[in-house]
Amino acid sequence: MALWEAESNRIGENPVFRSALIALTVLATLAAIWFYLSRLPSFATVEPYEMGVLVSDGQVIETLKPGLHQFDARTQEVHVYSAFIQREYNLPEPIIVNGCPSDVSFTWIIEDVEAWHISGGQTDAGPELAKEVRRLAQTFSEFGDDPRTEIQVFVQRQMEDFRVDGAARDFIGFAEPQC
């Protein structure tokens, strides 16, 4: 037996060397698995009542409609918002309609999910929409037989294009005047 064969057998029998070799093999295997998995595409599901935005480097790339979407998780993020759920807001003080106080409530939805995301996606649009409802209701002065319905229709028409960070009013309701 040659001298180098004898020494290689002694190195292979060394428990420290054997443990180091096993640890190195395990680490190399884990690194290979991680590398392989990081190259696979990621998927995001946007539910039917949601909308999402695909973001890369802080910029919105695309608005995502309901469905399954593929993206690169190394460079992109997906943010999903409950866009089609109606949120209700009640004005804290009644609006005077034909001399009588009337409670006002409205529902709002996220209509422009990109603008909603850019604004932070957590804002409550209710108070800002309420300011516009109150302003419009106070400008309306021509009342007919049913002032509550007339003012409600007027405010809804005037607010068709009004948005607060991507949120829009969905329905405005005036309660029966308290007179």
Note down the domain range covering 147.
87-174
Please tell me the predicted confidence (pLDDT) of residue 78.
93
**Tokens (6 digits) for 74:** 């190394």
Q: What total of structural domains would you count in the chain?
A: 3
Determine the pLDDT at residue 31. 87
166 located within any domain: yes
- State the distance between the two ends of the chain, measured CA to CA, in whole angstroms: 113
Q: What is the pTM of this model?
A: 0.59
Q: Please check whether residue 179 lies inside any domain of the structure.
A: no
Which pLDDT band holds residue 73 (cuts at 50, 70, 90)? confident
Q: What is the mean pLDDT of the chain?
A: 78
Give per-residue pLDDT as tens, 78-97.
Answer: 999 888 888 888 888 887 77
* Residues 6+ positions from 63 with CB-CB distance below 8 Å: 51, 52, 53, 54, 113, 114
Range from 52-66, 82-96, 130-144, 165-179 that averages highest in pLDDT: 52-66
Tell me, what's the pLDDT at 55?
93
Share of the chain above pLDDT 70, in %: 77
99 and 167, same domain (yes or no): yes
Compute the distance between CA of residue 25 and CA of residue 113 in angstroms, rounded to an integer: 48
Does residue 126 sit in the same domain as residue 169? yes
